[in-house]
Chain A
Amino acid sequence: MVRAGAVGTHLPTSSLDIFGDLRKMNKRQLYYQVLNFAMIVSSALMIWKGLIVLTGSESPIVVVLSGSMEPAFHRGDLLFLTNFREDPIRAGEIVVFKVEGRDIPIVHRVIKVHEKDNGDIKFLTKGDNNEIDDRGLYKEGQNWLEKKDVVGRARGFLPYVGMVTIIMNDYPKFKYALLAVMGAYVLLKRES
Chain B
Amino acid sequence: MPKMNTLLSRANSLFAFTLSVMAAVTLGCILTTAFKDRSAPVRLHVSRILLKKVEDFTGPRTKSDLGFITFHIYADLEKTFDWNVKQLFLYLSAEYTTKSNAVNQVVLWDKILLRGENPKLDLKDVKSKYFFFDDGHGLKGNRNVTLTLSWQVVPIAGILPLVTGSGRVSVPFPDSYEVAKAF
Q: Please report A residues at the B interface, Cβ cutoff 8 Å.
A: 12-15, 71-73, 88, 90-94, 109, 111-117, 122, 124, 128, 133, 135, 143-144, 154-159
State the CA gap A109–B158 with chains docked (Å): 18
Q: Is the CB of A72 within 8 A of B154?
A: yes
Are A114 and B107 CB-contacts (below 8 A) given A155-B160, A157-B157, A159-B157?
no
Sample (7) of A-B pairs whose CB atoms are under 8 Å apart:
A14-B4, A71-B112, A92-B152, A116-B102, A128-B89, A155-B159, A156-B159
Q: Is the CB of A116 within 8 A of B100?
A: yes
State the CA gap A114–B2 with chains docked (Å): 69
Q: Which residues of B contact A92 (CB under 8 A)?
A: 89, 91, 93, 107, 150, 152, 162
Are A91 and B105 CB-contacts (below 8 A) given A13-B2, A13-B5, A114-B135?
yes
Instruction: Give the A-B contact count at a CB cut-off of 8 A.
Output: 90
Q: Which residues of A contact B58 (CB under 8 A)?
A: 133, 135
State the CA gap A62–B28 with chains docked (Å): 22
Instruction: Return the chain B residue nearest A155 by Cβ.
Output: B160
Tell me the minimal C-beta distance from B40 to chain A in angstroms: 16
Q: Using a Cβ–Cβ cut-off of 8 Å, how many residues does chain B contribute to the interface with A?
A: 37
* Interface presence of B33 (CB below 8 A): no
- Nearest first, the 4 A-B pairs at minimum CB distance are A91-B105, A115-B103, A143-B59, A113-B105
State the CA gap A156–B160 with chains docked (Å): 5
Q: Is the CB of A117 within 8 A of B154?
A: no
Interface residues of B in 60-106 (CB under 8 A from A): 60, 86-87, 89, 91, 93, 95, 100-106
Find the residue from B58, B105, B159 having the highest chain A CB count within 10 A: B105
Tell me the minimal C-beta distance from B153 to chain A in angstroms: 10
Question: Which single member of A94, A111, A159 contacts B160 (CB below 8 Å)?
Answer: A94
Instruction: Return the chain B residue nearest A115 by Cβ.
Output: B103
* Interface presence of B130 (CB below 8 A): yes
State the CA gap A15–B95 with chains docked (Å): 68
Q: Which residues of B contact A114 (CB under 8 A)?
A: 101, 103-104, 135
Question: Which single member of A12, A15, A73, A113 contacts B103 (CB below 8 Å)?
Answer: A113
Q: Is the CB of A158 within 8 A of B26?
A: yes
Instruction: Return the chain B residue nearest A156 by Cβ.
Output: B159
Instruction: Return the chain A residue nearest B59 by Cβ.
Output: A143
